[in-house]
A and B are shown apart, each in its own frame.
Chain A
Amino acid sequence: MTETGAGFRVGVDVGGTFTDMILADGAGGALRVAKSPSVPSAPADGFFGGMDRILARSGVAPEAIDAVLHGSTVATNAILEGKVARTGLVTTAGFRHVLEIGRAEIPREANLFSWVKPRRPVRARHIFEVPGRIRLDGSEAVPLDEGALRGIGDAISAARLDAVAVVLLHSYANPRHERRVGEVLRGLLPEVEIALSVDVLPVFREYERTVATTLNASVQPVVGHYIGRLAEGLARREIRAPLFIMKSNGGTCPPDEAARGAVHLALSGPAAGARGAAWLGRLAGMDDLLGIDMGGTSADVSLVRDGEPARTTAGKLGEHPLALPIIDIHTIGAGGGSVATVNAQGSIRVGPESAGADPGPACYAKGGTRATVSDANLVLGRIPPHLLDGEVALDGTAAERAVRTGVAEPLGIGTVAAARGIVDLVNANMTGALKVMSVERGLDPREFALAAFGGAGPAHGADLMRSLGAGRLLVPRYPGILCAIGLLTADLRYDFAVTRLQRADAYDPTATEAIFAELTDRANRRLEADGVPPESREFQRAADLRYAKQGVELTVPVTAGGPVAEAALATLVADFHSLHERLYTFADPGAPVEIVNLRVEAVGATGTLVLPEIPAASKRRPEPAGERPASLDGNGAATPRATPVYRREALLAGHVIEGPAIVDQLDSTVVILPGQSALTDRHANLVVTEGTP
C-alpha cells in the first residue's frame, strides 16, 4: 500500500549499534518506526540502509518527503577514537604548549602517579607560533607578523596536515589578527580545512577555546566528507527534501553549517534523546522532567525545564572539555550489561565495567559468565525469559549461576537476595546521577516527572521514581526510539556568543546593545539563509555573569524586551542574584557583579510531529496476558511470587494497571511496583504514579 499525502518527515538516528528510523506525516495519521544495524566502518551505508528500509516498508515516494532529520555519531566517534584529520594549530607566539599543558590538573579520581593525559587533538610538533598580540581590551599591542605566516604555511605543507586551527590570545575581543591568519593560510593552502576560534567559540579561557577549535578543525574534513556522501545518496534516491543535522545544543542545522562547525555535532545522539524526552513530556503535560536513558553500558540523565532540555557550557566529550552550549547530560556506567563484582574485602559494586554486547550478560548465552544487571533482573523475574517476543531466548540457568557464583557465594547470601542487591545498587547509582541533575542544581525532584527510556530504562523507572521521590513516571510507547522522535521535533538552533568583560563599575548598555544587535543580525542572516520565514524566528538574549573574581559564570536570560538600557542590565543583575541564590543557597547582593559573555540563541521553528492516538478502553482494567513469578520490590528476602503480566500493545487509552505488575513489549519491559498504578494515555504512554490515579 502506498501512503499518500505530502509532508512526510523522516528521522534517522544512527547509533553505535543500531540505526533507528521514524517516519511521520504532519497530521498524526501515520507513524512508522524501524530499526536496522549501523555500519560503523561506513556510516553513510548505515544511514541509507535504514532510509531504504523505512521507505520500502511504508511505500512513501521520495518526492513525498519534506525533510530528512539526522542524528549522527560520526563526529563523536571520530573524536573519541582519534580517527580525525591530521591537524595543526597556529597560535600566539609564546603559547604553543598551552594545549599540551591544559589546565594542569588531573581528573580527581585518577591515580596521580600513573595517570596518562588524554591525547590532544594536535601533536605538539604541529603547533606553530605567530608573533602579534591583541590586548584584552581588543587593542593591538604587537602587529601581526605576516611574514612569519609564509614559513608556517610551508611547515604545514611539509607536515602534510589536512586541517589547521587558528587560536590567538584575546581574539574574542578583536578577531582581526585571527581572521587575517585565516585569510593568508587559505590563500597559501587552499586544500587545507581551516577553523578559527572566533568562529567556533569566541569566549575567553584559551585552553578550552583551543580544544574546541582544534577538535572542530580535526573533524571538519571527516564530517564534510560524510555529509558529501549523504548528499550524493539522497540525490541518487531523488530525495530532494532538505537535510537537517542534530547538534549537541538540541537543535538542528543544515549540512553546510554542520561541516563548518563540525564539533557542534559531538553530542548529536544524546541531545536528540533529551529533545525527544522533552517533547513527549510536553505532550503528556509534564513540562519539568528528568530523563534517564538506560542502555546496555551506560545511563544518560537529562533535565527538562519548562519543556526545554537544560543546557550547559561546561560539558565534556570523553576527557576533552567542551565549552560550547550543549544539552546538559550526565552519563554514568550503569546499564543492563553492568557487571557486579565482589572484592577481597567483601565489598560489592556494580559497574562501571560492562559486559557490553559481546559477550554480554550471562543470560545472553554468548559466553558471558559474570553477573550483570540483566542477569539479576532475570533471576528476579523482572524481565521475561525471552526478548523480542521469543526471537531471543534468555538463559535463566546461566543468569542464576552467574549471580550465585559471582555475588551470592562470596557474600554468603542467597541468590535472590544477591540479585536484589545488584538491582538495588544499580538503582542507587542511577538515583545518585538523577540527584546530580536535580538536587545539586537546587531543584526539588518532587516537582519533576521522570521519563525512563532506552531498552533497560522502563524496568528500573518505578524504583527510581520512588527512591528519587519524583512525582510521576513516564514510559514512552517506544522507549528505544526517543532519539528519533527528538529529531522530528527539533528546531533549527544556533548559539552566538562573545566575551566582553564589563566590571561592576563600568556596565555599558550602549555597547551591550550594539553587541546583542550584531549577534542578532548574524543570527537573522543565518536563519534567512536556511529559508526560515521571519515569523518563525525566535531570538533569546542572555548573558554570563559572575561575582567579581569568581571562576565560573551563570547564564542569565535577558528578560527585558527592546534595546538594552540601564534598567535591563539592572534586571539582569538582579536575576543573577536570584539564580545564584537558587543554585547555591545564597546570593551576595552587595558584591560587584561582572558581565562576562553576551549570548544570542536563535531558533527557527521547524520541528513538528503529531503522534497518532490509540482507541479508548471500554473498561478501566485491562486483562493480564498471563503471570510469572517475580520479585519486584526492595525486600531482599522476598521470594518471587506470581505477578500479572500485560502486553503493551494490548493497552488502550484509559487503562489502569495496579502494581505489582509487569508490562512486556517487543523491545523492553516495564515494571510497576506494589502501591503504584499505571495509566495508559491516548498516545499509548504509560504514566505511573504512587497510589491509585
Chain B
Amino acid sequence: MPVDPVTLEILKNHTRAAAESMAFTLYRTAHSTFVKETEDFTTGLTTPAGETFATPTELGATWFVGLNYGRVIEMIDDYRPGDIALTNDPYSGFVCTHTPDMHIWKPIFHEDEIVAFSVGHVHNTDVGGAVPASLSRTLSEIHQEGIRIPPAKILVEGELNRQVLDLFLTNVRAPDQNWGDLKAQIAACNTGERKVREMIERFGVDVFREGVADLLDYAEAQARAIVRNLPDGTYPFADYMDEDSVDGWPCRLALTLVIDGDELVFDFTGSDPQLESSLNMPTGGDERHTLLMVGMTYVLYSLDPSLYLNSGVGRVCRCILPSGTIVNPVFPAAVGMRTLSCSRLQGLILGAFAPAAPERLAGSPGSGGPIMNVNTTDNRTGRRIMAAINPMTGGAGGRAGEDGQDGSGANQGFLKNTPVEINEAEAGIKVLRYGLSPDSAGPGLHRGGMATEMRFQAFSPNTRVTARNRDRTRFTGWGIAGGRAGASSRFIKNPGTNREVDLGNTDILTIGPGDVIHVTCGGAGGWGDPLERDPDAVLLDWRRGWVTTGHARDAYGVVIAQGAVDGPATRALRAARANGTDNRFYDVGDECRAFEAVWTDANYAALTECLARLPVHWRFYAKHRIFAALEPLSPDDRRGDGSDVRQAFAALCAEFPELSDAGGAAAA
C-alpha cells in the first residue's frame, strides 16, 4: 500500500536530511585538502538491494544519484551489525570506477534484517602505484594504478580489521591522509545508520520500506513526464578527446540518442575501442551505470528543476555498451583518468539532447581544464610536499537568453577552487596569476562562459607538476544553434621568455626552481549567431579585459576604436560576413572540422564494423595502424565513404596471419 503523500513528503525530507548529515560529517572530519576543498566525495542511503534513494544536495559530488551498490553488496556473503565493507577495485562489481575512489558500505539492521545500507566514497589523493596521485594517462593497465582492495570488511562487528587497513596504508604515499579520510567515511556511515534508525522509530519499519520504494517510483514518474515532453526521434552526436594515449590519435565518443515516448536509449556504438591508456570507463556493461546516468540527470534536471533525484530517474533509460570499447572496457584496462572521459561523455549527452530542446539547453561546457597537483620540496624544512592546488574550470555554455557563466559552471560546477593564499601556504609555490582567460569564450549571440587560467612559479628542483584531465588543446567545446566553439586549452612552460615551451597535451612534467607554468581551461561553446550579438555587450566584455580588440572584430564583427564601438564599420563588417555562415546545428571548431573531413561518419562506421571483428587486444593497435594509413592520403585521394578504412583494414589483416579470418570477412 502506498504511503500517504504527507507522510511520504516528510519521509523524503528525513532521507535527504540523513544523507546531508552524512555528507556534513564526512566533510567536516575529512583530512585531505582535496576532499575539503573540492568535495570529491559522495554519501547516500541505498535499499537492501543497493539502489540509492537518498543523496545530499548541498555537499560533495551531488550528481551521482543513480549509484547502485547491488553488485558489491552481493560480493560479501555475511553481514552482521557493525560491519563496514569497502572496495576501491574498479573490476570488482563496477561501483568503484577508479582506484582513488574508496567506496564503503554499511548494512543497517532492523531486528535481524537489513533495511538499508549507508554508503559513500571519497577520492583519495593517492593510493600508490606508478605515479603520485595514482592517475596518469600514460598508464595502460590497472595494476599500475595503485593498490586495489576487492570488497572486504574494514570493520567486523564494530572491530577494526587491522590487516586490511595495514595492507592499504602500506601501499600508499601519504597514509595519514588516507586513514584520516577513511575515518571520516566511517563516521559518515555511522551517522547514516543513526538517521535510518531514527526514521524507523518515527515511521515504523513498514512505512519506511514502502516509502523508500515510493520515492524511487516517484522520481521515475517525474523523469518519464519530462522525457514524454521531448520530441521523439534519433539524435546522433560525437565528440572527441585530443588523444587516446600519449602522442596518440584522437579518441571518439559517439552516441545515438533515441527518444521514444517516455523511454530513452543511449547507443554508444561507434565509440572507440578500449584504450591502452587510462581513459576507459569501467561500466561492466551495466546499462544504467551511474557514470552514464550523470549526463542524463543533468539534462533532465535542467529541463525540470523540481525533479527529485534518486536511482528511480535512471529507469527511463537503457544504454547499449559494446564490450571492449572505451565505455565498457575489459580487464585489465587502465581506468584512472576516466574522469576526463566521463566529463566528455556528460557533454556528449548534453549535446545529443540539444537539438531536441535547443531553447532550453546550452552549448558545450568549458572543459579540458586539469586538476593540478604539485609535488615539491619545502626549502625551509627540506620535506617533500604534495598538494592538489586547483581544478582549472571553464564556464557554462551559452544558452537561449543568457551568456554562459564565467569561470564556473555546468558539469564541473561542483569543483571548488583552492584560495591562492592557501595554495601558497600548502603547495610551496607562488601563484603569479589566477583569473579569466581573455578570448576563451565561444562566440555567440549568447557567448559561452570564460575559462579560468593560472600561472605559478616553483622554487625547488625536481618539482613534479601533474595536470590531470587536461584536454581540449585540439578539439574544442562546441557551440550550438549558430554559436561557435570555445577556445582551446593551453599548458605552457615559461611563457613569454626565450625558454617558452608549449606543452601541448602533456599532463605531467618536472620543473625546476624559477620555472613558471601557465595553464588554461578550454572555453565553453556559444549559442546563436555571434554576428547578432549586441555590440555593446561585446564592448562591455572588452572593457572587462575579457575580449581583445582583434577577437571582437574577428569573432563578432564588432569594430572597437578609441574605447567605443565604431557603428558604421561594425555594420559594414557584419554585412560582409553574413553570407559566409552555414546552417549546421553544431559548430565544432576548425580543428575538429578538418579532422571530420578525413574521419567522416562513414569512415567511423567502417572502422567500428572492422574493429568489432577483432579480438579486444588487437583493436587499439589496429585503430592506430588504420589511422596511420589514412594520414598520408592527399585530399584528392580520400573518398570518405568508408572504403579507405576497409582497404587499410584488409591490408592489416593480410599482414598478420592471426587476423586472416577478420580480413577475409572485410574483403567480402
Contacts and interface: CB of A to CB of B under 8 A. Distances in A.
Given A95-B420, A125-B543, A345-B225, A108 B59 contact: yes
A207 B63 CA distance: 26
A615 to B, nearest CB: 43
B435 interface: yes
A585 B421 contact: no
B409 A115 contact: yes
Interface in B18-40: 21, 24-25, 28-33, 35-37, 39
Nearest to A171: B421
Contacts of B434: 94-95, 97-98, 101
A31 interface: no
Given A114-B402, A440-B24, A97 B543 contact: no
Contacts of A125: 540, 543-545
B102 interface: no
A168 to B, nearest CB: 11
B361 interface: yes
B5 A591 contact: no
Interface in A420-454: 420-421, 424-425, 428-429, 432, 435, 439-440
A424 B424 CA distance: 51
A101 B417 contact: yes
A348 B6 CA distance: 7
Interface string B430-472: 1111111000000000000000100100000000000000000
Contacts of A342: 5
B180 interface: yes
B218 A345 contact: yes
Nearest to B400: A114
A10 B513 CA distance: 65
A551 B33 CA distance: 6
Contacts of A346: 5
Given A346-B5, A347-B218, A113 B361 contact: yes
Interface in A512-555: 547-552
Given A98-B435, A101-B436, A584-B29, A432 B17 contact: yes
A2 interface: no
Given A112-B396, A343-B306, A591-B176, A94 B28 contact: no
Given A105-B413, A108-B59, A114 B399 contact: yes
A583 B28 contact: yes
B420 A585 contact: no
Contacts of B8: 347
| Majority SS at the chain A contact face | loop
Nearest to B23: A108
A136 interface: yes
A116 interface: yes
A108 B57 contact: yes
Nearest to A583: B28
A221 to B, nearest CB: 24
A104 B37 contact: no
B396 A113 contact: yes
Contacts of A112: 63, 298, 301-302, 396, 409-411, 413
A160 interface: no
Nearest to B186: A586
A205 B422 contact: yes
Nearest to B36: A551
B403 to A, nearest CB: 9
Contacts of A96: 435, 545
B409 A106 contact: yes
Nearest to B437: A97
Contacts of B424: 135-136, 170
B435 A105 contact: no
Contacts of A584: 25, 28-29, 187
A636 to B, nearest CB: 7
Interface in A536-576: 547-552
A266 interface: no
Contacts of B10: 424-425, 428
A398 B553 CA distance: 61
Contact of A108 (B30, B62, B546): B62
A445 B588 CA distance: 57
A392 interface: no
A332 to B, nearest CB: 11
Contacts of B58: 108-109
A113 B419 contact: no
A104 B435 contact: no
A649 to B, nearest CB: 36
Given A114-B399, A117-B405, A204 B422 contact: yes
B305 interface: yes
A206 B426 CA distance: 15
B419 to A, nearest CB: 5
Nearest to B191: A585
Interface size bracket, B side: 35 or more
A353 to B, nearest CB: 12
B13 interface: yes
A576 to B, nearest CB: 13
Interface string B200-229: 000000000000000000100110010000
B613 interface: no
A326 to B, nearest CB: 19
Nearest to B411: A112
Interface string A48-76: 00000000000000000000000000000
Nearest to B416: A105
Contacts of A108: 56-59, 62, 414
B544 to A, nearest CB: 4
A352 interface: no
A104 B28 CA distance: 20
A550 B36 contact: yes
A161 B407 CA distance: 26
B406 interface: yes
Contacts of B66: none
A103 interface: yes
B393 interface: yes
B362 interface: yes
Contacts of A588: 31, 180, 183
A605 interface: no
A111 interface: yes
Contacts of A552: 28, 36
A386 interface: no
Contact of A549 (B24, B31, B544, B545): B31
A189 B221 CA distance: 62
A464 B405 CA distance: 41
- Which of B29, B63, B350 has the most C-beta atoms of chain A within 10 angstroms of its own C-beta? B29
Contact of A94 (B35, B63, B435): B435
A109 B308 CA distance: 11
B25 A585 contact: yes
Contact of A207 (B361, B399, B415, B419): B419
A437 B430 CA distance: 39
Nearest to A114: B302
Contacts of B661: none
B408 interface: yes
B391 interface: yes
A1 interface: no
Contact of A501 (B391, B413, B425): B425
Kindly list the 10 A-B residue pairs having the minimum CB-CB distance in the complex, ordered from nearest. Answer: A551-B36, A97-B435, A421-B6, A106-B413, A94-B433, A101-B407, A124-B544, A104-B408, A104-B417, A105-B416
Given A94-B455, A584-B25, 12 more contacts: A100-B407, A112-B409, A112-B410, A113-B365, A114-B399, A170-B424, A207-B419, A413-B4, A424-B6, A550-B31, A591-B31, A591-B176
17 contacts: A94-B432, A94-B435, A102-B408, A113-B362, A113-B397, A113-B409, A114-B362, A115-B396, A125-B545, A205-B419, A205-B422, A348-B6, A413-B4, A501-B425, A547-B31, A549-B31, A588-B183
Interface of A: 94-98, 100-106, 108-117, 123-125, 135-136, 141, 169-170, 204-208, 342-349, 411, 413, 420-421, 424-425, 428-429, 432, 435, 439-440, 501, 547-552, 580, 583-586, 588, 591, 636
